[in-house]
Amino acid sequence: MELFKFMNKIGIIVQARTSSTRLPNKVIRPFYNEMTLLEIIINNLSKYFQKSDIIIATTTNPLDDIMEEIANKCGINLFRGEEENVLKRYIDAAEKFAFSRIIRICSDNPFLDMKALNQLYSQDKLHSNDYIGYSVNKQPAIKTHYGFWAESVLLSALRKALRLNKEKRYQEHVTNYIYENPDIFKIKWIEAPGFLKSKNLRFTIDTIEDFELQQLIYNKLIEREEEINIRNLYHIIDSNPYFAEIMRKQILVNQK
């Protein structure tokens, strides 16, 4: 029984580094009430999952030493590995902490949908798919600008992807090779809520314009004492049409 638990251990790995091309240090900038963007994400995750299952995966670059401080402050584990080969970093982190399944989270999404994340976690327990992700209009949600969803992948699938393909873009974008090859991997898609299909909005952070807008939206949610979820976010956008205009401009200049 203990062996079974070990072999099916699910871990949440948050990838983070300071050397973002478009907005360096974005994950360690104060985002709300002196908390950094990364701390906000970790604290939200910690409300729903065991801290021992949440890992920050960063690089060995000395510029990322600050990640150790944040991990200690949040009471979670840290892994340091490959800087450019993010796929290898995930594999090494999962192996160190004995995760057979990984829920992959990007550190530039402050509005991660926890209900969807819980659903993803439950799907992992019930199914043996190599990859499980959300889709919007038949497009992988990870390639949209929403920033609401995580994705789940087996460690064995990551190892296979690394073995089969050495292209740099597949090393940088951890799961792309897997879901682009459904003939090689077993893929499961979960449809995003239908009301999103007619929207073209952006809640992820790549630029200073993104950061300042999402910071403003986050503050509005907290001030209203509203739960951070997709519908409440959309109510704010509907009440502030110029937010949507800023998002549309950022979508045009930040293609996925």
Contact 199, 113 (CB under 8 A): no
Token pair recorded at residue 6? 């070990």
Look at residue 125 and tell me if it is in a domain.
yes
**Opening angle at CA 143, ends 68 and 118, nearest 5:** 60
CA distance 220 to 149: 21
Look at residue 60 and tell me if it is in a domain.
yes
Token pair recorded at residue 126? 């019930």
**Domain CATH code at residue 125:** 3.90.550.10
Q: Give me the number of domains the chain comprises.
A: 1
Dmax (CA) of the chain: 55
CA distance 184 to 4: 26
3-state secondary structure of 118: helix
List the pLDDT tens digit at each of the 256 positions of the chain: 334 344 578 999 999 999 888 899 999 999 999 999 999 999 999 999 989 899 999 999 999 999 999 999 999 999 999 999 999 999 999 999 999 999 999 999 999 999 889 888 877 665 689 999 999 988 899 889 999 999 999 999 999 999 999 899 999 999 999 999 999 999 999 998 877 766 789 999 999 999 999 999 999 998 888 888 888 999 899 889 999 999 999 999 887 6
Cα separation values, 91 from 153, 200, 204, 230, Å = 11, 33, 25, 31
pLDDT of residue 5: 42
CA atoms within 13 A on the CB side of 99: 28
**Beta bridge partners of residue 133, listed in sequence order:** 189
User: Cβ neighbours of residue 41 under 8 Å, at least 6 residues apart?
Assistant: 14, 105, 107, 109, 110, 112
Contact 9, 99 (CB under 8 A): yes
pLDDT of residue 16: 96
Look at residue 94 and tell me if it is in a domain.
yes
CA distance 186 to 113: 24
pLDDT of residue 14: 97
Look at residue 256 and tell me if it is in a domain.
no
What count of other Cβ atoms lies within 10 Å of the Cβ of residue 168?
9
Look at residue 19 and tell me if it is in a domain.
yes
Token pair recorded at residue 73? 């402050």
Give the length of the chain. Answer: 256
Look at residue 231 and tell me if it is in a domain.
no
pLDDT of residue 3: 40
Look at residue 138 and tell me if it is in a domain.
yes
CA distance 77 to 33: 24
Look at residue 227 and tell me if it is in a domain.
no
Query: What's the domain range around 175?
Result: 2-196
pLDDT of residue 7: 58
Measured N-to-C along each axis, helices 230-239 and 241-253 cross at an angle, to the nearest 10 degrees, of: 110
3-state secondary structure of 204: coil
